[in-house]
Structure 1
Amino acid sequence: MTQAALAPGGFDEFEMHQVLKRGCAAVGLDSSEARLLRGHTNAVIHLVKEHVVVKIARKGSRIDDVARTVRFVRWLMDAGFPTVSLHPVDQPVGVGQHALTFWEYLPQPSDPVPAAQLAKPLYSLHTLPASPEALPAHDNLAAIRRSLKSITCLSDEALAFLNGSTEQLESALHVVQFELPEGVIQGDPQHRNALHTASGGAVLCDWDTVAIGQPEWDLVTVEVHCRRFGHGSQHYEAFANTYGWDVTRWSGYQTLAAIRELRMITTNARKVSDAPTSLQEVERRVEGLRCHDRALRWNIL
């Protein structure tokens, strides 16, 4: 298996290869030429001979949750929604403690999908009728607390700061008044969770975090990614203009943006044991929060 770059994520390369081989054999796909595209959370692998992408969920991912995601995406496909398509095989496939899913491969240029092209798919998602799947409720604070309990790489002082910030933000969230109707949200919309299409458009991908929640969470996530990862204010402004609603002009923006950033930091801190080289960046982000530096540019992990 060739590897695009070092992509830590808790996967042992030999085990990953064996899981891939067994999973592909179960659905009649050739895994002899495979290329690792991403491996930070799930292993995302391109089967070069098949023009298929295989996604191997981390150990501990519930196959029932993965199956729910597959059913949800099939519903999106039937509705003509702009999503990356599932490969037409019976899935997910369970191999040991891993669940595998199979997707259409879309060749990608070097540049990620611009924020403006996320706007129409997200608006369509937020205004969909009720999903036939019983989706989980979106809860950033619960995810932050789960991560905080697992973090071993940070000092006691840093952990106390992060825990204190979580408590303060929970109190602030209680008084936030949402403006948009609750509905289906993607949960982590960003430039790398969308794909270019051959026609020049874009489709959403990576549905692991799909949930029922407030669209404001999706919109603030796009803004945070534009601001923190160097895409620039013009990218976000183009997104907001296309979507038709600017989350930064809403009274709850500061609270949601702070919660979203805290979740991103604590998630990466929890994964440092699998990616030791990320520790310096995690510590730099924590220090940026302590200094209230909202303009600090983050490096992608």
Structure 2
Amino acid sequence: MSQPEIEQVAREACATAGFENPRLVPIKVAENGIYRLADQQVVVRVARIGQAEAASRELMVARWLQANGVAAVEPAGSRADFVDVDGRPVTFWRELGPHRPGTEQEIATALRTLHGLSAPEFLSEVQPFVRLDERIDAGSTLTPGDRQWLRDQLSELRAGWKELAPGQPRGPIHGDAWAGNVVTTEAGVTTFLDLERASIGPPEWDLTSTAIKHSSFGWIPEQRYESFWRAYGYDVTTWPGFALLRDIRELRMTCMAVQSAGSKPEHAAQALHRLDCLRGRVGPRPWSSWEPIP
């Protein structure tokens, strides 16, 4: 679906939710569309076809966190915070005020609180391999050998996940706890964003996101990683299952770059670099030159 078509979906949903003649300001429009309603302090999120259940659950997660005193993005409270437009789910959220990415210590403290909650019945099991098959298949820049290696690696990691080493008690997790998804407002409130991956699973899945910023990519120094695990009270890198979760996270990041390179040639070099790292062509961790994919 083209960007104008996604915007038209957003406009139709706005009318249903009670926002007439909306002024939509694009925040990010790709497979999904995220817009700000000018002068309304509302954010509109247009999801992919087939994601109605996930979009509805995200609203439920937000309300559950709010009821438990955990700061997170909040539903807008409009006439209809969930609208279906020709199979594309659209949700409405209160716009978060000025904020910055959370520090390692702030993220750890927020995760410790989240992981201490009792899981609600509507949360499903974490799906660490969601969409990876499709991204590998869609990787038009891959050589046949690299594509087969990715498929074999995915199969091996799936088998490893079924035998994951025991760790911290399973419970509610954010599922995608990067610094951009755990932010701190000007008032000093650390807040969870992007709740679509919230699920039940090993807390280590969330902790690995920050751990590999140090161990895999060298994005943060030892002192900052230490502040993270000390604030949480547990160093996930000492757990026997860490290497498996690290490898899954790295594979997810690589497959995302591979998919992006198919439509944006400027990302092809980054996708190949990530794959070369995973295949041992670059040397041991920490690897340099892993750059964000917009």
Residue 75 of structure 2 contacts residue 81 of structure 2 at CA under 8 Å; is this kept in 1? no
Structure 2 counterpart of 1:5: none
Task: Decide whether aligned partners of structure 1 residues 35 and 230 sit closer, same or farther in structure 2, where only a CA change above 3 A counts.
Answer: farther
Give aligned-pair identity as a percent.
26
Structure 2 counterpart of 1:296: 287
Structure 1 counterpart of 2:93: 103
Tell me which of 190, 194, 202 is aligned to 1:214.
202
Whether 2:59 is the aligned partner of 1:67: answer no
Deviating more after overlay: 38-47 vs 155-164: 38-47
Provide the secondary structure at the position in 1 that maps to 2:278: helix
Matched residue count:
288
Shift of 1:202: 1.2
Whether 2:70 is the aligned partner of 1:78: answer no
Residue 38 of structure 1 contacts residue 45 of structure 1 at CA under 8 Å; is this kept in 2? yes
Structure 1 counterpart of 2:141: 153
Unpaired runs of 5+ residues, structure 2, are none
Provide the secondary structure at the position in 2 that maps to 1:106: coil
Task: Decide whether aligned partners of structure 1 residues 170 and 28 sit closer, same or farther in structure 2, where only a CA change above 3 A counts.
Answer: closer
Deviating more after overlay: 30-39 vs 287-296: 30-39
Task: Decide whether aligned partners of structure 1 residues 237 and 43 sit closer, same or farther in structure 2, where only a CA change above 3 A counts.
Answer: farther
Tell me which of 6, 11, 30 is aligned to 1:21.
11
Structure 1 residue runs of 4+, over 6 Å off?
none
Whether 2:269 is the aligned partner of 1:280: answer yes
Residue 106 of structure 1 contacts residue 196 of structure 1 at CA under 8 Å; is this kept in 2? no
Shift of 1:56: 1.1
- RMSD (Å) for aligned C-alpha atoms: 2.3
Tell me which of 98, 104, 112 is aligned to 2:101.
112
Residue 106 of structure 1 contacts residue 195 of structure 1 at CA under 8 Å; is this kept in 2? no
> Distance in 1 between the 2:158 and 2:11 partners?
45
Paired residues for 1:1-301 under 5 Å: 12-29=2-19, 32-58=22-48, 60-89=49-78, 90-109=80-99, 111-133=100-122, 135-141=123-129, 143-225=131-213, 227-228=216-217, 230-291=219-280, 292-297=283-288, 298-301=290-293
Scaled by the length of structure 2, the TM-score of the pair is: 0.88
> Distance in 2 between the 1:229 and 1:240 partners?
16
Residue 136 of structure 2 contacts residue 255 of structure 2 at CA under 8 Å; is this kept in 1? yes
Letter in 2 for 1:260: R
Task: Decide whether aligned partners of structure 1 residues 41 and 82 sit closer, same or farther in structure 2, where only a CA change above 3 A counts.
Answer: farther
Letter in 2 for 1:283: L
Provide the secondary structure at the position in 1 that maps to 2:172: strand
Unpaired runs of 5+ residues, structure 1, are 1-10
Letter in 2 for 1:294: R
Task: Decide whether aligned partners of structure 1 residues 34 and 191 sit closer, same or farther in structure 2, where only a CA change above 3 A counts.
Answer: same
Scaled by the length of structure 1, the TM-score of the pair is: 0.86
> Distance in 1 between the 2:138 and 2:61 partners?
30
Shift of 1:207: 0.9
> Distance in 2 between the 1:143 and 1:273 partners?
15
> Distance in 2 between the 1:158 and 1:148 partners?
10
Shift of 1:285: 0.4
Residue 272 of structure 1 contacts residue 279 of structure 1 at CA under 8 Å; is this kept in 2? yes
> Distance in 1 between the 2:235 and 2:158 partners?
23
